[in-house]
Amino acid sequence: MIDSLLAYITLAMILFSIGFLGVVSRKNIFVIYMSIELMLNAINLIFVSLGRYYESMQPQVIAMIIIAIAAAEAAVFLSLIVVLYRRKKSLNSDIFTILSQKDSHE
């Protein structure tokens, strides 16, 4: 039977893994951000399916809160990307390693 908890969890794990792979493999900082969003969605899916499984509303509330946090994160992350792109004219996340240096402000 496909329509079972395990099927939903499998879907969530596949999406989560793809998101993780995106973080690990891509240099484009936008894609990294999107991968993180994807991972959050996967987690949401796990919550919601568990809520359905146990017939409880709590996980849905948590999922809603996660979405709200994702929205807040989006605001900060995107403004950061804007600032960094203005300075470096690049979307390469590796360039931002200079942030670890003491005299990174040039």
Partner 1 sequence: MSNFLLAWIVLIPFISSFIIGVMYLYSIKVARVPNFVFSLFGLSAPLLSFLLGFSFFLQMIGNDEIFLYKAYRWLEIDGYDIDMGFMADKLSIFMVLFITFVGWLIHIYASGYMKDDKGYGKFFFYFNFFLASMLLLVLGHGPIIMFMGWEGVGFSSYLLISYYYEDGENVKAGNKAFIANRVGDFGFIVAMVTMFYYAGSNGFDFLNLKESLLSVPVPVLTFIGFSLFVGAIGKSAQIPLFVWLPDAMAGPTPVSALIHAATMVTAGVYMVARFHFLYDLIPHVGLFIAYVGAISALFAAIIATKQTDIKKILAYSTMSQLGYMFIAVGLGGYSVGIFHVFTHAFFKALLFMGAGAVIVALHHEQNIFKMGGMKKKTPLVYFTMLIATLAISGIPPFAGFFSKDEILLTAFSSGEYLLWIIGVFTAILTAYYMFRLLFVVFYGKNYKEDKKLHFLPKSMTTPLVILAIGSILAGFIGIPELLGGENLIGSWLGNWKNSSLHVTHSTEIILMVINIFAALLGIFIAYKKFYMYDMKEVPIFTGIVWNKFYIDEIYDTLIVHKIKQLSIFISYKIDVHFIDKIVMGLSRGFIRSGHYIAKMQNANTRFYAFTMLIGISVISTYLIMVLR
Partner 2 sequence: MIDIIFIVLSIIAISGAMGMILFSQTIYSALSLIVTILALAGVFALLSAPFLFMVQIIIYAGAIITLLLFIIMFLNIKDDNLPSEPNKMTTIFIGAALLLPFNILVLKAFYTLPSKPMHILGKDFGSINDFGMELFRSWLVPFELISMLLLAALIGAVVYARKEKAND
- Give the residues lining the site for partner 1 (CB under 8 A): 20, 23-27, 32, 93-94, 96-101
x/- mask, partner 2, residues 74-93, rule CB under 8 A, reads: xxx-xxxxxx-xx--xxxxx
Judged by CB under 8 A, the chain residues 38 through 77 that form the site for partner 2 are 38, 41, 44-45, 48-49, 51-53, 55, 57-58, 60-61, 63-65, 67-76
Q: Closer to partner 1 by CB, 29 or 63: give it.
A: 29
Q: Is the dihedral of CA 64, 51, 12, 17 positive or negative?
A: positive
Residue 92's beta-bridge partner residues? 28
d(CA 33, CA 75): 12
36 lies in the site for partner 2, by CB under 8 A:
no
Rg (CA), the chain: 18
Question: What's the closest the beta carbon of residue 101 comes to partner 1, in angstroms?
Answer: 8
Distance set, CA 62 to CA 21, 44, 58 (Å): 25, 8, 6
